Structure 1
């Protein structure tokens, strides 16, 4: 019997935050599939074909965190894809007009990129759900809040406004 020396599994280069998130999400999905907790939903990214697989607050949170990461990394292509996957066509058109008028990003209602986002549920009815998104800044600005409406049938974000309560 030959004895192989033990080689520790050490990555050859540091993992990027994006790769760590992908590995974590993949591991979580595999674990859920193994114990049967998916409830028949397809495994895969939130922005896949079945966006209704999670609660609206979770979908909005996942969208904003992914979108802020893409914007922070100046990955315009990924930001556009996220918008196409998560926002209704009508909202995308409204945001384009808003952005031309205000010279800022319509999804965040800001010129700079927030460093994070928190979400809380704000009710549902008439086929929609509402989520309050608190955008977190680097300390140079107070946190800002948005009121985000999702369409329950499609799972897509259908309106974004500044929180006014």
Structure 2
């Protein structure tokens, strides 16, 4: 009986040591992935629904900004054009082109440069349309420059039908 108690005690101590070592080894080894200062934090989750108007607006602005940010990539310009054709109604594509011809600026962003961040917020729906407010952040720091764009989407076609500076 004494031998069995010793074996049980030694086995329990060994199991506790193994569990403790397993728990602290990652902390000691610092095996957590390192994040680039401009990358998404490990706890950030992004979700979407292709049926939701606000998700589609967010998808469009995210992909569009990515494309024009990476303008050195030979596929970037073609991708930005394809995104416009897919997400914008034909009438809105014509309005964007007219704005660009007149203002010599991007008609989706209403600017000549590329924002460093973007945010899309649903603001309401009615009469077959949904509206969202896109906030573009143009610089980093304590007091960054921002602009906002009001975006209207047709709920039936899911196409963006109107873009207007909201400032």
1:158 aligned partner? 161
Q: Which residue of 2 aligns with 1:110?
A: 111
Q: Residues 65 and 116 of structure 1 are in contact (CA less than 8 Å); yes or no, is this contact kept in structure 2?
A: no
- Using the size of structure 1 for normalisation, the TM-score is 0.66
Moved over 2 A (4+): 138-141
Q: Secondary structure at the match of 1:112?
A: coil
Structure 2 residue aligned with 1:149: 152
Residue number in structure 1 paired with 2:64: 67
The CA deviation at 1:57 is 1.1
Distance 1:134 1:54 in 2: 22
Q: What CA distance in whole angstroms lies between the structure 1 residues aligned with 2:51 and 2:121?
A: 14
TM-score calculated relative to the size of structure 2: 0.65
1:138 matched to 2:139? The reply is: yes
Cα contact 1:128–1:150 (8 A) shared by 2: yes
| Unaligned stretches of 5+ residues in structure 1 | 1-27, 30-45, 47-51
The runs of 5 or more residues in structure 2 that have no matched partner are 1-45
| 1:25-104 aligned within 5 A | 53-74=50-71, 75-104=76-105
Which residue of structure 1 aligns with residue 7 of structure 2? none
Q: Within 2, Cα distance between the matches of 1:79 and 1:70?
A: 6
Using CA pairs under 8 Å that are at least 6 residues apart, name the structure with larger relative contact order, 1 or 2: 1
Other structure's SS at 1:53 match: coil
Q: What CA distance in whole angstroms lies between the structure 1 residues aligned with 2:55 and 2:163?
A: 16
How big is the shift at 1:53? 3.2
- RMSD over aligned Cα atoms: 2.1
TM-superposed CA distance for 1:116, in Å, is 2.0
Could you tell me whether the CA contact under 8 Å between 1:151 and 1:157 is conserved in 2? yes
Measure, in 1, the Cα distance between the counterparts of 2:119 and 2:69. 17
* Structure label with greater radius of gyration: 2
